Amino acid sequence: MKRLRRLTLVCLCLASGFAGAETPDLLLANVYEGDVELSHYWISEKLDGVRARWDGTHLISRGGNVFHAPTWFTRDFPDTPLDGELWMGRGTFEALSGTVRQERPDDTQWRRVKYMVFDLPSYPGTFDERLLAMRRLVVHSDSRYLDVIKQFKVDNAASLRTRLLDVVAAGGEGLMLHRADSTYRAGRSDDLLKLKLYRDAEATVIGYTEASG
Q: What is the CATH number of the domain that holds 93?
A: 3.30.470.30
In a domain, 6, yes or no: yes
Distance CA 146, CA 137 (A): 10
Helix (H, G, I), strand (E, B) or coil at 65: strand
Q: What is the DSSP string of 17-37?
A: TPEE-PPP--EEEEEP-S-S-
Which one, of 179, 174, 177, lies nearest residue 207 by Cα? 174
Burial 69-79 (b: 16+ CB within 10 A, else e): bbeebbeebbe
CA distance 73 to 145: 7
Q: Is 121 a domain residue?
A: yes
Q: Is the Cβ–Cβ distance between 88 and 112 less than 8 Å? A: yes
Phi and psi dihedrals of 91, rounded to 5? 75, 20
What does the pLDDT look like over 71-103, one tens digit per residue? Answer: 999 999 999 999 999 999 999 999 999 999 999
- For residue 209, being part of any structural domain is answered with no
Residue 84 lies in a domain: yes
Does the residue 207 lie in any domain?
A: no
76 belongs to a structural domain: yes
DSSP per-residue codes, 162-179: HHHHHHHHTT--EEEEEE
In a domain, 95, yes or no: yes
Comparing 3 with 22, which gets the higher pLDDT? 22
Over residues 197-204, mean pLDDT: 55
Domain containing 125: what range?
2-196
Looking at per-residue confidence, does 89 or 3 come out higher? 89
Residues near 95 by beta carbon (within 8 Å), at least 6 away in sequence = 88, 109, 112
Counted domains in the chain: 1
In this structure, is residue 213 part of a structural domain?
no
Average pLDDT, the chain: 87
